[in-house]
Structure 1
């Protein structure tokens, strides 16, 4: 009998302590959008400017990975590109020689044309024979063919040199792309902090060897934290996005600290009630998850328990 009286008195006292806040409409735990920052290349960490609990701004240098090997690879590819130009041929000297030869042949042609004209005049005066004219004409024809051959040799020389050079330089685009890839990897050797926030966990230290995708640290913006709570189907119709609600957290043994929150997300699918969560109707098996954005004054922590009031209780 005494035991039952004690329990009854305790229950009354507990109810009295919570009469100011009333029964919560939903409850849950706080979470934040956490970002795990990883290395994008393999190598030894030569600089790591990250400490747990530090507040880091977006764009700040977080770590530097040793990329000496990549730098050497880039220099090697650039040297290969330069070597390609050294392998190419210049047809100018040979072409110039052939053009000089044509110039000489054209001088000879001019002389033969004069000689032909003089011989034609002599024939009219019966001072020369037609055989002499035929010989000069044959020389002119032969010289014309020689000029044509020399001109063709210039074309062949230019074409062969151009083909050879194109074949050599065809390797350049692939080498330039390779150089660009290495340059991109070199840029990724510096790890830049992606968001402004607080470092939650540090996974690596300077001097360690990292790999692509291996986590270096975890960061989250804690200036606004999210309360993930669960509601029943009956409560679903009472809520909408951007709706203002009241969030309460324990502030000592018998008090609550109150925050203003805004509903930012409502699940479109029902799920079974998590074992660690109590809803307004504890008998409900299926519930809907919601997220409430709550401005953080530095008190709220990830994993902390919170309660939600959709309307102020009297």
Structure 2
């Protein structure tokens, strides 16, 4: 009889003992909390989720009043469009000048060259006429020819000198035309400077418009990550200050299990050891986890631990982070059992309570 009872208690004890190299523990799944707050002060126009709702990253959770922001965007869009039109008009004028100025300079240069050539010919003709007039005058004084021939030579000289003066006037006019044409380069540079100034104004207008769009985008309060809404702090119509909390979300991609390991076993637990989590919700699916945190201070075992004798022992808190949460099947609050493998090669075994 006594032997049978001893065997019974031994069998029950052995059932609860895992192979050497494995440590079992339990706790509840928790997650990293994210407090969702607005960047700017405003009034809540719409709330789209409640406590317990599952959300995905980027999902709009709430909308703040956007009437003023929309008006600001429209105003700045008009200003940016006007600035862009000024830049386009200035660039068109610059393109025209860029073609006209070289052509004008070429034409003025050709005119000046022709005028100088004509002036040179007129000057040569005037010099020839002056020599002819002097020769005729000498012949008249010696009575070789009559005085009428001298008058004719003087008239011819006067006409030729008039042509010379006209040619010189044409040179001066052509030279002024070339100088005016070359001033086109100054106008071209001035137009380029005007374009640069207008483009700077356009850049300022576009920057202001982008800022206004950013403010408008910030009025849509979005989920920073996938998770579950644990708390909704505000109601529709409330006016918020910048940074005031609206939602408390738990990130479903960063879940962990807090467990407590007895001081007799804590020396075997190291960072980055593999672990497996088991839940009643998915009894046939173990979830891979990793030891990421080991407390350096001992504490009494929490009351949630299974057996009474274990509750009186000093334990160390160990945090096991899930490697993955497929389809976000695990959520905060689920009880879970864990097996930590501290010796390589040991076959995984379910917890035995």
Q: CA deviation at 1:72?
A: 2.2
Q: Give the TM-score taking structure 1 as reference length.
A: 0.65
Partner of residue 290, structure 1? 319
Quickly say closer, same or farther: Cα 1:302–1:151, change in 2 above 3 A.
closer
Paired positions, count? 287
Paired residue for 1:198, among 213, 228, 239?
Answer: 228
CA offsets 1:257-310 (integer angstroms, 9 cap, x no match): 9995644224255124267467958454x72423265989xxx98567776566
Q: CA deviation at 1:212?
A: 3.3
Q: Is the 8 A contact 2:104 2:181 kept in 1?
A: no
Q: Is the 8 A contact 1:119 1:132 kept in 2?
A: no
Quickly say closer, same or farther: Cα 1:170–1:227, change in 2 above 3 A.
closer
Q: CA deviation at 1:156?
A: 2.8
Partner of residue 54, structure 1? 53
1:212 has 2:242 as partner:
yes
Partner of residue 179, structure 1? 209
Give the distance between the partners of 1:304 and 1:119, measured in 2 at CA: 113
Q: Give the TM-score taking structure 2 as reference length.
A: 0.59
Partner of residue 243, structure 1? 275
Partner of residue 67, structure 2? 68
Q: Is the 8 A contact 1:25 1:280 kept in 2?
A: no
Q: CA deviation at 1:230?
A: 2.2
Quickly say closer, same or farther: Cα 1:245–1:86, change in 2 above 3 A.
closer
Secondary structure of 2:34's match? Answer: strand
**Going by fraction, where is helix more abundant, 1 or 2?**
2
Give the distance between the partners of 1:112 and 1:244, measured in 2 at CA: 101
Q: Is the 8 A contact 2:275 2:320 kept in 1?
A: no
Partner of residue 151, structure 1? 181
Give the distance between the partners of 1:222 and 1:103, measured in 2 at CA: 78
Q: Is the 8 A contact 2:126 2:164 kept in 1?
A: no
Partner of residue 151, structure 2? none
Give the distance between the partners of 2:232 and 2:73, measured in 1 at CA: 32
Q: CA deviation at 1:121?
A: 6.3
More displaced stretch, 160-169 vs 117-126: 117-126
Partner of residue 231, structure 1? 261
Quickly say closer, same or farther: Cα 1:304–1:192, change in 2 above 3 A.
closer
Alignment of 1:1-314 (within 5 A): 22=16, 26=25, 28-84=27-83, 85-86=85-86, 117=121, 127-128=156-157, 131-132=161-162, 134-220=164-250, 226-232=256-262, 234-236=264-266, 238-239=268-269, 241-244=273-276, 262-268=288-294, 270-273=296-299, 276=302, 280=310, 282-284=312-314, 287-291=316-320, 293=322, 312-313=351-352
Quickly say closer, same or farther: Cα 1:281–1:204, change in 2 above 3 A.
closer
Q: CA deviation at 1:69?
A: 1.6
Quickly say closer, same or farther: Cα 1:198–1:82, change in 2 above 3 A.
closer
Quickly say closer, same or farther: Cα 1:290–1:258, change in 2 above 3 A.
farther
Secondary structure of 2:265's match? Answer: helix
Q: CA deviation at 1:229?
A: 1.3
Give the distance between the partners of 2:321 and 2:111, measured in 1 at CA: 97
Partner of residue 8, structure 1? none
Q: Is the 8 A contact 1:38 1:213 kept in 2?
A: yes
Gaps of 5+ in 1: 1-14, 250-256
Give the distance between the partners of 2:104 and 2:336, measured in 1 at CA: 96
Q: CA deviation at 1:180?
A: 0.9
Give the distance between the partners of 1:174 and 1:115, measured in 2 at CA: 57
